[in-house]
Structure 1
């Protein structure tokens, strides 16, 4: 009895659609990848479920994680699995593991599967298109047992707008920073750069109240509203997680840096500094969003 797999109710195609629509939007908001795996018996040519279907369903249920979602398509011959916040690398590892088990264990000797993998990195795909595309590639792959086909139609990452505010009272250095940031090329992001001569003009602009990701590059000493005051205001806003704050300072001391980091800055840069260093730090910051 120890190797008996008990099948529980599995979700059906129509039940999963509304969940997918929610997850698809989270790909944009949270930049979390969804990967879909579809499976079919390699030698299944019947239009209705065959005798192995219940055994396959129960086996798949026993191998997925609690965060994964298994469902059966309405034709009864395909299974789908959504791996939330997972890439195609993890999906390939999952298929390699379950294929090895099915091929090795005698009780599964009548079963041979084939699969497709689709990594979803944008919200352009509909549930119906996703299903039809994967059913199509599985059909085109014929009766090749244990094959895995990858669908790349929905893996293009969207370009995200990032607002950039430079707050620096020195006009020449302000122009240099503006030119530098306007020339930075960051994959998956486009920067919209605006400059301000002091903290007060920045706060009057209201540009920081949007829901866009917002990079702030500001001096700690500013007229009317200094950098630490702005830092305090931004870190107490409801959308404070949208801000990436770089603070520039002429104070090269551990105390000044510690005070800035405790206040919520992401980077503390001592003047004078190499502009290439600033560019490298910014590129590294945004690269982390897609690692």
Structure 2
């Protein structure tokens, strides 16, 4: 029996595992989606290894010409499956890609020997390992009832993990501080859990050192505070190397253009003039976090 030719100018299965593990963890850190697409060469009853040896390089060359520079194409060890990791792409985009290349393959005479079927796996968490991902998609594509040129979906890894967010409320008025604490303790934000802490002045917040953790951190504070005021805290947080983890809402009783300008130039994400509607604050917070998952 003739041995299947493995094309040498694309990555092979054994080379890809390490890359996949890095990409999988980056999905969690960056909150972006990765989608895996797998193809199977659909063998006809009369198909031989020799025929596939002739077709394999053609398929590899065709796929290479259609992917982006950021996509990772590889061939599986069995010689009849290919995979592509699409970075920062959803299953909707991957499906559109598949429909486009399938149309080309069916239309162009030079590809008349090629018949494929495909599966799509959208990855939004790190609960899958490389071997399991391959096995699930190969099992899906092994279904003889799946027609040629069809696209199946593996949906096991689409659920996004919950991410913990530190919430620090810095407010000297005890009653309003308690109102804000209650509001945020009961605030339901998809994909996030809120760990709420309160402080009556800026100094106690800095002494707590909770802002030094690696978690995303929502800070809601007054511009004027005892001991360390809000603008001082803002400067300290924005000078930190990982300052982008902070979402900073500043509250103020000063409804002036100068106060607003100073706050935004200092790096606040939102400037809210007191008194304000709590429902409006909740809506702003929900919108802020929704942007992380668009």
Q: Which residue of 2 aligns with 1:228?
A: 231
Query: Which of 237, 240, 251 lines up with 1:237 in the alignment?
Result: 240
Shift of 1:239: 1.7
- CA 102–155 in structure 1, closer or farther in 2 if over 3 Å, else same: same
Q: Are 2:42 and 1:39 equivalent residues in the alignment?
A: no
- CA 42–202 in structure 1, closer or farther in 2 if over 3 Å, else same: same
Q: Are 2:69 and 1:66 equivalent residues in the alignment?
A: yes
CA distance in 2, matches of 1:137, 1:77: 14
Whether the 8 Å contact between 1:40 and 1:138 is mirrored in structure 2 is: yes
Shift of 1:145: 1.1
Whether the 8 Å contact between 1:171 and 1:197 is mirrored in structure 2 is: yes
Q: Which residue of 2 aligns with 1:94?
A: 97
CA distance in 2, matches of 1:179, 1:140: 53
Shift of 1:22: 0.6
- Equivalent residue of 2:149, what SS? coil
Q: Which residue of 1 aligns with 2:138?
A: 135
Shift of 1:143: 5.2
Q: Which residue of 1 aligns with 2:4?
A: none
CA distance in 1, matches of 2:78, 2:157: 24
Shift of 1:247: 0.2
- CA 199–143 in structure 1, closer or farther in 2 if over 3 Å, else same: closer
Shift of 1:256: 1.0
Alignment deviations for residues 142-169 of structure 1 (CA, whole Å, 9 cap, x no partner): 4511100011101110000000000000
Q: Specify every segment of 5 or more residues in structure 1 that has no aligned partner in the other structure, as ranges.
A: 1-6
Q: Which residue of 2 aligns with 1:116?
A: 119
For the aligned residues, what is the CA RMSD? 1.5
CA distance in 2, matches of 1:65, 1:237: 35
Q: Which residue of 1 aligns with 2:147?
A: 144
- Equivalent residue of 2:217, what SS? strand
Alignment deviations for residues 72-96 of structure 1 (CA, whole Å, 9 cap, x no partner): 0011110000001111111011101
Relative to the length of structure 2, the TM-score reads 0.94
Relative to the length of structure 1, the TM-score reads 0.95
- Equivalent residue of 2:69, what SS? coil
Q: How does 1:202-213 map to 2 (within 5 A)?
A: 202-213=205-216
Q: Specify every segment of 5 or more residues in structure 2 that has no aligned partner in the other structure, as ranges.
A: 1-6
Aligned residues: 285
- CA 166–44 in structure 1, closer or farther in 2 if over 3 Å, else same: farther
Q: Which residue of 2 aligns with 1:189?
A: 192
- Equivalent residue of 1:133, what SS? helix
- Equivalent residue of 2:113, what SS? coil
CA distance in 2, matches of 1:97, 1:262: 47
- CA 47–154 in structure 1, closer or farther in 2 if over 3 Å, else same: farther
Alignment deviations for residues 106-148 of structure 1 (CA, whole Å, 9 cap, x no partner): 1112212110000100111000000000000011254511100
Which 4+ residue blocks in structure 1 deviate beyond 4 angstroms?
44-49
Q: Which residue of 2 aligns with 1:78?
A: 81
